[in-house]
Amino acid sequence: MRDAIVIGSGISGMVTAIKLAEAGVHVLLASPFPSERSQSVMAAGGINAVMSRHEEGDSVSAHIEDTLKGGCYLAGEEAVKGLCESAEEIIEYLEGIGVVFSVDEAGRPARRAVGGHSYRRTCYCGSSTGKQIVSALVMEARRLEAAGLIKRALGKCFHSALIKDGVCYGALFFDEAFGNISAEYTDVVVVATGGQNALFGKTTGSTQCDGYTAGELFMQGVELKNLEFVQFHPTTIETSQKRMLVSEAARGEGGRLFYMDNGERVYFMEEKYGPKGNLMPRDIVSREIYSAGKDVFLDVSFLKDSDIESRLPEVRDLCKKYIGIDIAKEPIPVAPSVHFFMGGIAVHKNHETNIRDLFAVGECASMYHGANRLGGNSLLAAVHSGMIAAREIAGRDTKEDRPDFSSAAEEANRMLDKMKDTKSVFPVMYIRDMASETMNKSMGIIRSEESINEGIKDIDYYLSVAERLSYDNSVLPYFNYSLTGILTLARAALSCAESRKESRGAHYRSDHPDTLDDYAAATVISYENGQYKVRFDKENEYES
């Protein structure tokens, strides 16, 4: 294998690039912004691993079972087994490149409790785990950059993949510095572009991760999976731009949820689910908060000041900065918000898509989390998937012939120029806002046939508007050309939600509240001649 392009430079993209470069592959690591601004830096809670250094009853098989159970048995058993079995090695790799984990009295990585886990197994670096992992990976990437193996290219936004006869040969990128679209050829493309936040507007995630890549690839023939499973995090606070996460660590350290009734605190999670009620899986806590129909608060004020200082410093700073609350003295007003996408690009166990030489890793790929993700498992999956993909790719042959796609780049530039000649009557961002409002209403915490069909009607209308849309010169060209891909992804998600006539994990249908054996399979969706085709992957074809 001679070269590869990795699109997206969060944790999964960087791990892929580093491992490929270490195997001698030349990598173009492309993203609009530096890694230090990727969503990965926001991860606060930690990364899961059962370490042989820790005895206390936990085991890798318990981690596997918790992950499968949390995902309502939709995630592939083999894939989850590989994920959990690799966790200890991943922690050791991260320690080896300079990630400093918080330690317990015995000097071993300390672990905190996180919802849905039967043991404390979430390793953390204070409350800045993601930041520390990104920093260490950036240093590794720089070392390989100096060796001429990684080229980091900033200001590059994915436009489309170069695919011929079911094989990928590269990608078109919009270059923010030059304002044009150019073709990059390669042996293998790895997509590592994160979640699909633009579908829901204000979420806890990064606005950089808008889902466009998944939507565009879908239109180009790539299959997507499990799009109906969108995780709502139960404890977020409202700010003007986005929702900010109050880390699960706050409940892991003993935080209690309550609402007020007749002047009395009602600890509704503990009343319904017992002493561990506050740490129930995220979908259950989110639904309970939503169904309570009252203002809900999270209380950590009974913890010792020193514990808040050492274990929850970022939660303390966040609440002080954004809502002026001192968590050592007052409860935090919280509400659920979209936080993570279990669904995404369908990949085989080696992380290749249904298009040869096109891979997907990290949050943009759907593999390990089934119907719901356990906290701490996505950082693990980001590192693990990058390692798996790199191992597979490094062993592949270099492509002898590469078809010429220069006409595709010319056509894309012509489209961009044509858009620039006219002014839009519909501002692009207005349509994006309307679409996200639709998605929040139709595919929120609780959905129904009626709400989903309303959503489909609205998104189909926005798609028809987008087709007639001309250039909105008040926003970057990227926002113009990405609109159709984002709307198509939204439409595909609604089709998945419509097809799954049951409730499972993060997908709750008020008209079909039960979990049914008939639907015990992943949802796979493809796009054929403008039609959205959903099937249930009962044969587990994506497990091979």
Ligand X SMILES: Cc1cc2nc3c(=O)[nH]c(=O)nc-3n(C[C@H](O)[C@H](O)[C@H](O)COP(=O)(O)OP(=O)(O)OC[C@H]3O[C@@H](n4cnc5c(N)ncnc54)[C@H](O)[C@@H]3O)c2cc1C
Binding site for ligand X (CB under 6 A): 7-13, 31-33, 38-40, 42-47, 129-130, 157-158, 192-194, 204-206, 208-209, 212-213, 245, 340, 362-363, 375-379, 382
End-to-end, the C-alpha distance of the chain in Å comes to 23
Element (H, E) at 4: strand 3-7
Q: How far is the CB of 482 from ligand X (least distance, A)?
A: 7
Six token digits for residue 97: 């490149």
- 115 and 148 in contact (C-beta within 8 Å)? no
DSSP state letters, 59-113: -HHHHHHHHHHHTTT-S-HHHHHHHHHHHHHHHHHHHHTT----B-TTSSBPEE-
| Residue placing its CB nearer to ligand X in the complex, 455 or 485 | 485
Confirm if 54 and 424 have CB atoms less than 8 A apart. no
Angle at 20 between CA 19 and CA 25, to 5 degrees: 150
* Alpha-helical runs (H) found in 184-337: 212-219, 249-252, 268-273, 282-292, 305-311, 313-323
CB of 481 to ligand X, least distance (A): 10
Cα separations (Å) of 344 from 69, 177, 391? 20, 29, 22
Q: Which is nearer to ligand X, 130 or 277 (CB)?
A: 130
| Phi and psi, residue 4, nearest 5° | -150, 155
**Strand pairing of 332-341 and 230-238?**
antiparallel
C-beta of 160 vs 503, nearer to ligand X: 160
Stated as kind and residue range, the H or E segment containing 161 is strand 156-164
Closest to ligand X by CB, 39 vs 278, is: 39
- 468 as an active site residue: the answer is no
> What span, in angstroms and rounded, lies between the C-alpha atoms of 327 and 317?
9
Alpha-carbon distance of 46 to 121, in angstroms, equals 9
Of 282, 311, 432, 447, which residue is the catalytic one? 282
Crossing angle, helix 212-219 and helix 477-499, to 10 degrees? 70
Comparing CB distances to ligand X, the nearer of 224 and 534 is 224
Half-sphere exposure of 447 (CA within 13 A, CB side): 32
Q: How many CB atoms lie within 10 A of CB 346?
A: 25
For strands 365-366 and 358-360, give the pairing: unpaired
Please name the amino acid found at residue 481: Y
Q: Between 100 and 425, whose beta carbon lies closer to ligand X?
A: 100
Shortest Å distance, C-beta 176 to ligand X: 10
Residue 172, SS3 per DSSP: strand
Beta carbon nearer to ligand X, 382 or 456: 382
| Residue 345 vs 452, nearer CB to ligand X | 345
DSSP per residue, 306-374: HHHHHH-HHHHHHHHHHH---TTTSPEEEEEEEEEES-EEE--TTSB-SSBTEEE-GGGEE-S-TTSPP
- Output DSSP code: residue 398: P
Cβ-based nearer residue to ligand X, 134 or 452: 134
Active site positions, annotated: 282
